[in-house]
Structure 1
Amino acid sequence: MKQIPYLCNDEIDFREKIESFKESLAEMPEYSCILATIYVDSYFQEITPRLVDRLKRLLPDVKIVGGTVSANITAGVINLFGISLTFSVFFKSTVDVIAIPWKDGESARLGKDLLWYIRQLYQPVAVQMISSGYNLDLVPFLRELSNIPEDIAVFGGVVDDGTVSGPGFVFTAEEFIPRGMAVVIYKGRSLFVHMCSSSGWQPLGRKMKITALADNQTTIADLDNGTTVRDVYEKYLGVNWNESFLDEAVVFPVCINRNGTILNRMPRALRPDGSANYGADFQIGEVIQLCYGNPTVVIQGTYGIQYDMVRFQPEGIFAVSCWARRVLLNKDVNQELEVCRSCAPSTGIYALGEYVRDQKGRIHLNNMYLSIVGMREGGTVNLPNDMSYLHQKVRFQNKGNSVLSHMLHFVQAVSEELEDYNRQLRHIADTDKLTGMYNRGALDRLLEEEIRRSSEKMEPLSLMVLDVDNFKTINDNFGHLIGDASLMCVANIIQESVLEIDFPGRWGGDEFMVIMRDADSEAAMKIGERIRRNVEAFSMENGMLRMSISGGIATLHGLDDKDSLFKRADDALYRAKYKFGKNNVQIIK
């Protein structure tokens, strides 16, 4: 593989660069495929069809993909103006380029069609997607496409869609697409792909739950049942809700934890009602936090990528970086692109969203990421003996970034101290003083949360309430100190008898509760019987004090809330104590 990038100043320069490439092509060995990647800024949008026609006439066999961008990456340097033209010459591998015009309401079908196409190919190794068009409903599309083999790398991004420099488009040799995708599929057993990514953004401040969404689940309409996005940005960041909102807020995304994957969402559009669109999807009930980027951390994160990519020794690099990274780093933005200069010839874009694939193979639209994709044909490489020169110290051209970095380090340190203190307070507030278990308030909150989680994931949930038999007699015969000690012993038995995923606690007095995750009636009954037997086998005061416990279990039904679930468990407990003579566990399904 050989990659040759050019930055062209105008249409004439574009033609001359093609001629120059044709001359160099004559000196290369026989090739299997050539891909031309073209990125243009808004100034050249009108002449882009002519550029594509020119390239097709001069090199009719070349595959073409491209789009309009606010900034391109050519030969490892960011450019805000010009035409980026990069030729990727493959000697053993090939690429397919596909145009996907978007059809609202057919997102899942489009994803299935692309999935089927990829499955028919011989040894696909990477999929590159560049998309255009505001507020595409990508969730069904990406869900279907996530079924491609997990070893296929996925990368790419969103070009301008009107939120930065005007509506843009993507294109292939045959088609220009204002709403949709241009997809490149790289294939061949001799093509090796290595992908690295880095963010550097960190969460800060309180967590907020999403309680209402709009616009294909990309607009947050409500937080915590009454708070708007405008409230959050004005209160915590002092960002005014006006025409300059996006300029100021773009480097302050929100983050979510989706099934173990941290995803960032960059604000893209504001609404008069205080809601904001983020250009990528959320889910009701997800918890968000504001994030900030520390310039030092952001750049240092790219040093690991550089080291990793030098070890891979690519022959060509494709880069995608978030537009917000350019805004944050400003004059220092080329420092993050050092990997694109030290490893191999490169091409890339600054995007309004980056396509990423998590460790489980799921594809997401993300923000704030730098993704570097290295490619080479051939297997074994000779690693350089000395790579110490790669370890660099961040040196800011923009001194404001240095000051900002120190201030953010201070804020993070103070925030961590405060969060640690708050964790201690929450633990105290949630803990029963006598037994050290969850107290009634914590159990009440956890039960509500687990019912919601279980309903969303369609997983079983059971609730067990327990009551120490004849506890008043224990207090009367042995005294309250021994009574308290017996409750602590019962609490220990319960905690040792349940699973790690369960939530055992003291409901009050001699009553206990266990919230049993992922437990149907049969599994819950086994846990209840285990607790009952262990309590029955325990004794105190040299065997003079023996105890027993009764329990009631209810399993979650589709229409249950916490009150109805608790009532059935309490009814089952009443049956165990007064119908079956105590020291037993009953269940109401």
Structure 2
Amino acid sequence: MKQFPFLVHGRKELLADVEQVRQEAKKMKALSGVLVSIFMNRADPAMLQDMKQMICAAFPEAQIIGAVSTVEIIDGCLIENDIVVNFTLMECSSVRVMSFDFRMEDSEAAGRSLLAVLDADRHAAAVEVISAGFHLNINPFFRQASRARREILFFGGLADDGSLGQNGMVFTQDALLRHGIAVAIFSGKKLHVQTSSSFGWKPLGRFMTVTKMDGEFCVQELDGKPAMDVFERYLDIGNDDRFLTEALTFPFYFERNGVVLARHPRRCLKDGSVMFGADFRVGERVRLAYGDPGEIIDNALVLQNKMASFRPEAVFVVSCVARWMLLGSDTEQELSITRRLAPSAGFYAYGEFMRTADGQIMVSNMTLVLIGMREGLGKDSVRRAPSQPLHLRPHRSIMAHLVHFIERTTQELEESNAALYRLARIDYLTGLLNRGETENRLRQLMAEFQLCRQPVAVFMLDVDDFKLVNDRFGHAMGDCILQLLAGIIREVSDKAHAVAGRWGGDEFLAVCPDLSLEEARGAAEQIRKHVADMDPLSEKDRVTVSIGVVAARTGDTAETVFARVDRALYEAKQLRGKNTVVIREEP
């Protein structure tokens, strides 16, 4: 496999480049496939058609794929306002380019069509997908394609039209689409493909919950408030013409199925909704994020080392436009890692396509993706050299220090919030849940019981003659007994998967989901016996507890259950002589 990327300014220059590649192709043992990738900064159908004709005149078998993009990449260099033409020549592999016009078939049907092709090709190794149109619902397409063999890698991105966020354009050798996708399928017994990615964004501020959406890409409300409020309140970014350029580098950060994802804002609507570059789901918890230039550069070297060990013969690059906007003049520092790998070309996208370990194809944002390819074992290249240290320019170094400050203060804020959260729900003396949190858990479990009818048992206990203990031995001893009792309750409750808390004073309540009444009686008896065996007082004085046990019934609420278990406890203390367990089954 050989790759030849060129920066093209005009027709004459392209003719010379095509001829150079044709001569190189003659030196190869065989020519089994030719892919020509074109990335151009503006939509010019006439120029594109002329380019296709020149390429196909020299390589009739050539498969062509490309897009209009804001910024292009060639051999680790950033290219603006120009055209990149990349020739990938294969000796024992093949490539097939297809297009899907979403005006002719919907997203899911297109995905099924691609899946059928991949299922029929047992040597398919990788699929490049380039889409045009932010309004396209590409998720059904990816859901179908995700059913393909897991060893098939997917990469690519969402193209715009070169004007930061407008509808894009993709093309193949025989199609030009503004509402669809172009696909290149790489296939071969000896074809090896590796993808590696770099992130570098970190969470900032508090968690927010997506509470209302319009479709998959439009977030209407976060925590019940317009999504735009977040950008206005925390970033001082208004709903005006500057929104995209100012908000693009502050994505939302969250986890889905164990994978960290980012979603960058694309535009805001009059009602305060915000459109994003990829999908969300109601109920997902998100945070704002910021880019750490230092970590981005550090990750670039890690990415380089991973790809160097693969020994690629060709490298494809897809990066998020927000990385370019954040790094500015340091962008080429990050891209320079590809110069030591293999000839490379690519583009900046508004969404990067990747496949996770479980086979799901998804849209990410803020990510740099390198795709290495080789035929056979690959060969060492003079282009490879030991990693060189990358250095941020002075203004980026200052920003890196500010980022460190934000990171550390955010960490301290998280720790403080965690401590406050614990104080708000944990009883300080016993370490069990406090009254408010115990009551909340009781209400939640009762609501679940009414839906699924799984058994729920509740028991309540208190220390017999606890006032006398305090009077004779002091409150310090009383606190000690409560702590010992809490330890016993915790041990038994954990084994029974119960929720236990201090109800108040010397009273404790435990809610036991999935336990029958008899099983709850057994747990209560364990607690009673363990307490009776304690010896914190004198030889003549013993600590005992009384316990009431009830089971949830149809129509029960937290209040009715509590009333019954309170009566059961009263019976254990007043009618059964204390140090006993009473089950109350009747109303």
Paired with 1:15 and 1:414, the residues of 2 have a C-alpha distance of 57
Alignment of 1:40-51 (within 5 A): 40-42=40-42, 44-51=44-51
- Could you tell me which amino acid in structure 2 is paired with residue 395 of structure 1? L
Moved more, 329-338 or 578-587: 578-587
1:298/1:172 Cα in 2 relative to 1: closer, same or farther (>3 Å)? same
Matched-pair contact (CA < 8 Å) for 1:474–1:483? no
Tell me if the contact between 1:267 and 1:276 (Cα under 8 Å) persists in the aligned partners. Answer: yes
Per the alignment, residue 531 of structure 1 pairs with: 523
Letter in 1 for 2:234: Y
Q: Return the alpha-carbon distance in structure 2 between the equivalents of residues 83 and 311 of structure 1.
A: 31
Q: What is the Cα deviation at residue 573 of structure 1?
A: 4.3
Taking the aligned partners of 1:52 and 1:451, their CA distance within structure 2 comes to 68
Q: What's the C-alpha RMSD, in Å, of the aligned pairs?
A: 3.5
Cα separation, partners in 2 of 1:379 and 1:536, compared to 1, 3 Å: farther
Out of 492, 495, 499, which is 1:497 matched to? Answer: 492
Amino acid across the alignment from 1:347: A
Aligned residue for 1:467? Answer: 460
Structure 1 residue identity aligned to 2:501: G
Q: Report Cα offsets for 1:537-586 as digits up to 9, x if no partner.
A: 3123469434454444559x9xx9xxx66357547747976999973778
1:532–1:584: 8 Å Cα contact kept in structure 2?
no
**Contact (CA 8 Å) 2:41, 2:162: kept in 1 or not?**
no
In structure 2, distance between residues paired with 1:395 and 1:347: 23
Which residue of 422, 432, 436 corresponds with 1:427? 422
Deviation at residue 258 of structure 1 after TM alignment: 1.4
Query: Cα distance 1:377–1:126, how it changes in 2: closer, same or farther (>3 A)?
Result: same
Tell me which residue corresponds to 1:348: 346
Kindly indicate whether residue 558 of structure 2 is the aligned counterpart of residue 566 of structure 1: yes
Structure 1 residue 340: Cα displacement: 1.4
Q: How does 1:112-261 map to 2 (within 5 A)?
A: 112-160=112-160, 164=164, 166-214=166-214, 216-225=215-224, 227-261=225-259
Gaps of 5+ in 1: none
Deviation at 1:496, TM superposition (A): 2.4
* Deviation for aligned residue 1:24: 1.5
Distance 1:336 1:138 in 2: 29
**Residue range with higher mean Cα deviation, 308-317 or 14-23:** 14-23
Task: Identify which of 376, 379, 390 aligns with 1:378.
Answer: 376
| Aligned residue number for residue 511 of structure 1 | 508
Correspondence for 1:439: 434
Whole-Å separation in 1 of the counterparts to 2:446 and 2:293: 41
The residue identity in structure 2 corresponding to 1:466 is: F
Deviation string, structure 1 residues 170-202 (Cα, Å, up to 9, x no partner): 122222221121122222231112211111111
Give 3-state SS (helix, strand or coil) of 1:545's partner. Answer: coil
Instruction: Read off the aligned partner of 2:65 and give its amino acid letter.
Output: V
Conservation of the 8 A alpha-carbon contact between 2:124 and 2:152: yes
- Whether the 8 Å CA contact 2:458–2:552 is kept in 1: the answer is no
Cα deviation code 1:459-490 (max 9, x no counterpart)? 9987653201xx36342564475665554344
The one-letter amino acid paired with 2:205 is: G
Q: Deviations over 1:482-514 (max 9, x none)?
A: 665554344323432345987543344523244
Preserved CA contact (<8 Å) 1:251 1:324: yes
Matched, 1:28 2:28: yes
Q: For residue 300 of structure 1, report the CA deviation from its aligned partner.
A: 1.3
Q: Equivalents in 1 of 2:521, 2:584: separation in Å?
A: 10
- Quick one: which of 394, 399, 406 aligns to 1:404? 399
Conservation of the 8 A alpha-carbon contact between 1:311 and 1:383: no
Change (3 A) 1:251 1:165: closer
Alignment of 1:250-399 (within 5 A): 250-379=248-377, 389-396=386-393, 399=394
The aligned residue for residue 52 of structure 2 is: 52
Q: Number of paired residues?
A: 566
TM score, norm. by length of structure 2 = 0.86
SS at 1:167 equivalent: coil
Kept in 2, the 8 Å contact 1:45–1:68? The answer is no
- The range that moved more, 459-468 or 303-312, is 459-468
How many angstroms apart in 2 are the aligned matches of 1:8 and 1:526? Answer: 81
**Closer, same or farther: CA 445–80 of 1 in aligned 2, 3 Å:** farther
**Fraction of identical pairs, as percent:** 30
Partner of 1:83: 83
Could you tell me how far 1:103 is from its partner in structure 2?
Answer: 5.2
**Is the Cα contact below 8 Å between 2:212 and 2:221 reproduced in 1?**
yes
Q: Secondary structure at the match of 1:344?
A: coil
* Counterpart code for 1:437: L
> How far, CA to CA, are the matches of 1:112 and 1:584 in structure 2?
63
Residue 82 and residue 478 in structure 1: after superposition, are their counterparts in 2 closer, same or farther (change >3 A)? same
Amino acid in the other structure paired with 1:217:
E
| Amino acid across the alignment from 1:69 | S
Q: SS of the counterpart of 1:537?
A: helix
* Helix, strand or coil at the partner of 2:464: helix
d(CA) in 2 for partners of 1:46 and 1:443? 71
Q: How far did residue 66 of structure 1 move?
A: 1.1
Q: 1:451 to 1:10 in 2, by over 3 A?
A: farther
1:60-84 Cα offsets, whole Å, 9 max, x none, are: 1112211111111112211112221
CA distance, structure 2, for counterparts of residue 140 and residue 449 of structure 1: 35
Using the alignment, how far apart are the partners of 1:153 and 1:426 within structure 2? 43
Q: Distance in 2 between matches of 1:128 and 1:2?
A: 18
Distance 1:162 1:575 in 2: 74
Shift of 1:411: 2.0
For the structure 1 residues 377 and 465, does the alpha-carbon distance in structure 2 shift closer, same or farther, using more than 3 Å as the test?
same
Does the C-alpha gap of structure 1 residues 400 and 44 become closer, same or farther in structure 2, counting only changes over 3 Å?
Answer: farther
The answer to whether the Cα contact below 8 Å between 1:463 and 1:513 also exists between their aligned partners in 2 is: no
Quick check: 2:126–2:193 contact (8 Å CA) kept in 1?
yes
Indicate conservation of the 8 Å contact 2:442/2:558, yes or no: no
How far has the Cα of 1:140 moved from its partner?
Answer: 3.0
Contact 2:457/2:517, CA 8 A, preserved across alignment:
no
State how far apart, in whole Å, the 1-side matches of 2:582 and 2:97 are. 68
CA distance in 1, matches of 2:347, 2:277: 18
Q: CA deviation at 1:55?
A: 2.3
Q: Offset of 1:441 from its aligned partner?
A: 3.3
Question: What CA distance in whole angstroms lies between the structure 2 residues aligned with 1:451 and 1:135?
Answer: 43
The 10-residue stretch of structure 1 (6-15 or 124-133) with the greater mean CA deviation from structure 2 = 6-15
Could you tell me how far apart the structure 2 residues matched to 1:503 and 1:163 are?
Answer: 56
CA distance in 2 between counterparts of 1:499 and 1:357 reads 39
- The alignment partner of 1:42 has SS state of coil
CA offset digits 1:246-294 (Å, max 9, x no partner)? 1111111111121221110111111112221012111111111111112
- Contact map agreement 1:554 1:572 (CA 8 A) in 2: no
Question: 2:435·2:504 contact (CA, 8 Å) conserved in 1?
Answer: yes
The Cα offsets for residues 209-235 of structure 1, whole Å up to 9 and x where unpaired, read as 111111x2211111111x223221122
Larger Rg: 2
